[in-house]
Amino acid sequence: MMIDLHMHTPRCGHAAGAPSEYVAAARRAGLEVIAFTDHLALPDGYDPDGEYAMRPGELGDYVAEVREVQRLSGHSPRVLLGIEADWVPPHRGQTARAIASHAFDVVLGSVHFLGDWAFDDPSLIDEWSLRDVAGAWDEYFEAFTHAAASGLFDVMAHPDLVKKFGHVPPGDLSALYKDVAAAVADAGVAVEVSSAGLRKPCREIYPSDALLSAFCRAGVPVTTASDAHTPEEVGSGLAEVREAVERAGYSSIVYFEAREMREVPL
Ligand SMILES: [Zn+2]
Ligand SMILES: [Zn+2]
């Protein structure tokens, strides 16, 4: 079953194409289940240029728009209503209220900020030269595991996004990965395996084979996703993603419906 559980709409300010075009692209690609998961509005001050996420008042319109394509799609593919929410710890109450305000099928949790630094924004890449890479990784995975344990999210998106521009600490990361996987397993959430990294400077699926194997050993379920920001990207790289999932030792993947996990064979 080909599933793409992460895609966007132009409401976020950095995606293109109408939702109906994403659905048509999914149908052409033979996908059976897709989820729209646009970026939930960020707390005040985190998105000054309106390029990271939808506006605070747009959530209702976004939901109505997804419901409309859901109706028109006639279950081919199945269209799920999702949202991608940032982990911004000082504002977790606000995030929780927004998530609870609609009947989402799936809620993705993402770490895009270390403090107030949007570390994956290409326009802020210079900040990396001021940072210790290993320190940034520790900070990232601490936030990632706290987000996983927060109870807000069903799936943790792009698990090692911190490597996006190719910043990877030297040495053996297996102890870190084992700890991260154990924390995520305890939290009871799934993690996403995403082709988006293949289209970024790191040129690698999120998460790496080593981290994905650690998740598998810890019993963490996985979803598959493109993180499409254009219709052309819908389903892209899913074959590689599924190979990585199988290589790591998985025999099944999951998706969510009304926030209940559904397991299907790979
Ligand atoms: Zn995005
Ligand atoms: Zn996304």
Q: How far is the CA of 220 from the centre of ligand 2 (A)?
A: 20
Ligand having the closest approach to the CA of 229: 1
The mean pLDDT of the chain is 97
Ligand having the closest approach to the CA of 108: 2
d(CA 241, CA 151) in angstroms, rounded, equals 26
d(CA 116, CA 220) in angstroms, rounded, equals 29
**pTM for the structure as a whole:** 0.98
Taking alpha carbons only, the member of 107, 169, 108, 171 closest to residue 141 is 169
- Quick: pLDDT tens for 4-56: 999 999 999 999 999 999 999 999 999 999 999 999 999 999 999 999 999 99
**Contact partners, residue 256, CB within 8 Å, separation at least 6:** 5, 35, 80, 82, 105, 106, 154, 155, 190, 223, 262
Q: How far is the CA of 231 from the centre of ligand 2 (A)?
A: 13
What is residue 12's predicted lDDT score, i.e. its pLDDT?
Answer: 97
What is residue 240's predicted lDDT score, i.e. its pLDDT?
Answer: 98
Q: How far is the CA of 225 from the centre of ligand 1 (A)?
A: 13
pLDDT band at 119 (very low <50, low <70, confident <90, very high): very high
Residue 226's CB is within 10 A of a number of other CB atoms, namely 25
Q: pLDDT over 70 for what percent of the chain?
A: 100
Q: How far is the CA of 10 from the centre of ligand 2 (A)?
A: 12
Ramachandran quadrant class, 121 (left: phi over 0; alpha: psi -120 to 50; beta: rest): beta
Residue 139: helix, strand or coil by DSSP? Answer: helix
- Quick: pLDDT tens for 132-183: 999 999 999 999 999 999 999 999 999 999 999 999 999 999 999 999 999 9
Ligand having the closest approach to the CA of 83: 2
Ligand having the closest approach to the CA of 161: 2
For the chain, helix, strand, coil in percent to 5 are 45, 20, 35
- Residue whose pair of structure tokens reads 């598998």 in the numeric block: 216
Tokens of 220: 């963490």
pLDDT band at 256 (very low <50, low <70, confident <90, very high): very high
Helical segments of 91-248, H only = 92-100, 133-149, 174-187, 209-218, 238-247
pLDDT band at 255 (very low <50, low <70, confident <90, very high): very high
> Mean pLDDT, to the nearest integer, of 123-139?
97
pLDDT band at 261 (very low <50, low <70, confident <90, very high): very high
Q: How far is the CA of 131 from the centre of ligand 2 (A)?
A: 25
Q: How far is the CA of 197 from the centre of ligand 1 (A)?
A: 12
Q: What distance, in Å, lies between the first and last C-alpha atoms of the chain?
A: 7
Ramachandran quadrant class, 221 (left: phi over 0; alpha: psi -120 to 50; beta: rest): beta
- Quick: pLDDT tens for 56-85: 999 999 999 999 999 999 889 999 999 999
Ligand having the closest approach to the CA of 53: 1
Q: How far is the CA of 9 from the centre of ligand 2 (A)?
A: 10
d(CA 266, CA 246) in angstroms, rounded, equals 8
- Interior angle at CA 149, CA 33 and CA 140, nearest 5: 90
Taking alpha carbons only, the member of 87, 78, 83 closest to residue 102 is 83
Ligand having the closest approach to the CA of 120: 1
Tally of CA atoms within 13 A in the half-sphere of 191 that contains its CB: 35
Q: How far is the CA of 227 from the centre of ligand 1 (A)?
A: 7
Q: How far is the CA of 133 from the centre of ligand 1 (A)?
A: 23
What is residue 103's predicted lDDT score, i.e. its pLDDT?
Answer: 98
| Burial category of 101 from C-beta neighbours within 10 Å (exposed 0-12, middle 13-18, buried 19 and up) | exposed
Q: How far is the CA of 157 from the centre of ligand 1 (A)?
A: 11
Q: How far is the CA of 40 from the centre of ligand 1 (A)?
A: 10
Strands across the sheet containing 222-225:
3-7, 33-39, 78-86, 106-110, 155-156, 190-194, 222-225
